[in-house]
Amino acid sequence: MKDARFDTRAVHAGDAPDPHTGALDPPVVLASAYAFDDAADAAAQFEGTRPGHIYTRWRNPTVRAFEQKVAALEGAEDCVALASGMAAVHAALLATLSAGDHVVAAESLYAETGRLLRGTLARFGVVTTFVDATDPAAIEAALRDETRVVYLETPANPTLAITDVAEVARRCGGRTIIVDSTFATPYHQTLLDRGAHLVVHSATKGLCGHGDAVGGVVVGDAERVRRVREEGVRTAGGALSPLNAMLLARGVRTLSVRMERASRSAAELARRLQGDPRVARVHYPGLTDHPGHAIAADQMRNGFGALLAFEVEGGRAAGARCYDAVELVSRAVSLGDVRTLMTHAASTTHASWTAEQRATAGIADGLMRLSVGIEDVEDLWADLDRALSSASSG
Ligand SMILES: *Cc1c(COP(=O)(O)O)cnc(C)c1O
């Protein structure tokens, strides 16, 4: 499977006919505990000299098959799956940091990741400096002797800001670089080959693709992933349910065909929105006027992903009217789903920010984030076109 290309690995990696039944689709093992042959077998399994699962919080065959599939797609030595994307982010950071360490993190981060750094980790004596991560020089300037982690997200929420991971790695030699790659999925970018040490995903999003399971993954070299597994799964108990592992592995088998369609439609919608007088601005890394376009063109592949954002002309009230008027597009958080989902940042994800904070972060009051699904692009455009007309006729 190592020599197979990406689309083939997505279908087959981690899967093999069940040795007991021949079942082609891997059976779901729900057992919490596994029988030992005798005392010597139990002792050998606990020592780690004989393979075995022992207890599902530690090891489960259905979860392991999903981990192997994701590791194969990321070109990683190993992968650990966790109960959610936040469990993955939390474990990656806790396995790497100790009291007194310093973190340099991107200003634009998933909200709960920001809370983890500002709240939980600060309480345990880890200090974080937040910088504009589109500027690798700013990251380098924020480094201290005690900086252990550089934490990034690319593309980042909600303006699809792009960070040049290879350039950051070059400037931060030795520090552990952790990147949240959820928005891209491994179909559009793999970052371990660009200098990231750990890559995390909310598997709830594009890897799952169907909006029916919550999960997370961390990939990297075997030793780092072992520490994340010890910390996040064995000790913190953030184990992924085997039922969710089955749903997530099934999602990953169709990742390429879903992302191919969704990113093509996203590029087409971005192009149409950009030429539309009812729209003030479009954020999509595939557009040549996006500030991160040149880096994204080099760092990403197979297109630029399913996420875009656009600013409705007329501010917050017009944005809300546009949001109220969509019918095919769902008003919902989350992303990477087969359904197209839309969020109005000023009323939802960034409602707790002041207008000034939003303005500094480039989040206009009429900003809509669109996670493009796999519906027919003409039906999506018809829905958006109608919603924009109601927004401008308010
Ligand atoms: C959703 C998301 C998370 C958190 O994932 P959960 O599965 O909801 O815990 C982390 N990072 C990014 C970029 C996300 O979109």
Kindly give the distance from the C-alpha atom of residue 202 to the centroid of ligand 1, in angstroms, as a whole number: 4
| Segment 45-88, tens digit of pLDDT | 999 999 999 999 999 999 999 999 999 999 999 999 999 999 99
Query: How many CB atoms sit inside 10 A of residue 222's CB?
Result: 10
Give the active site residues.
57, 110, 180, 205
For domain 255-393, give the fold: Aspartate Aminotransferase, domain 1 (3.90.1150)
Share of residues in the chain with pLDDT > 90 (%): 89
Q: What is the pTM of this model?
A: 0.97
Q: Is 125 exposed, middle or buried (0-12, 13-18, 19+ CB in 10 A)?
A: exposed
Question: Any idea which architecture 6-253 has in CATH?
Answer: 3-Layer(aba) Sandwich (3.40)
Kindly give the distance from the C-alpha atom of residue 86 to the centroid of ligand 1, in angstroms, as a whole number: 6
Helices 242-253/61-74 angle, 10° precision: 30
| Segment 97-138, tens digit of pLDDT | 999 999 999 998 998 999 999 999 999 999 999 999 999 999
Kindly give the distance from the C-alpha atom of residue 200 to the centroid of ligand 1, in angstroms, as a whole number: 9
Between the alpha carbon of residue 380 and those of residues 44, 224, 302, 373, the distances in Å are 58, 42, 21, 9
Kindly give the distance from the C-alpha atom of residue 3 to the centroid of ligand 1, in angstroms, as a whole number: 31
Question: Which residue minimizes the CA distance to atom 5 of ligand 1?
Answer: 85
| Segment 268-312, tens digit of pLDDT | 999 999 999 999 999 999 999 999 999 999 999 999 999 999 999
Q: What is the CB < 6 Å shell around ligand 1? A: 84-86, 89, 110, 153, 180, 182-183, 202, 204-205, 214, 216
Between the alpha carbon of residue 173 and those of residues 93, 147, 165, the distances in Å are 18, 11, 12
Pocket test for ligand 1, best of 108, 189, 205, 217 (most atoms within 8 A of CB): 205
Domain map (residue ranges) of the chain: 6-253, 255-393
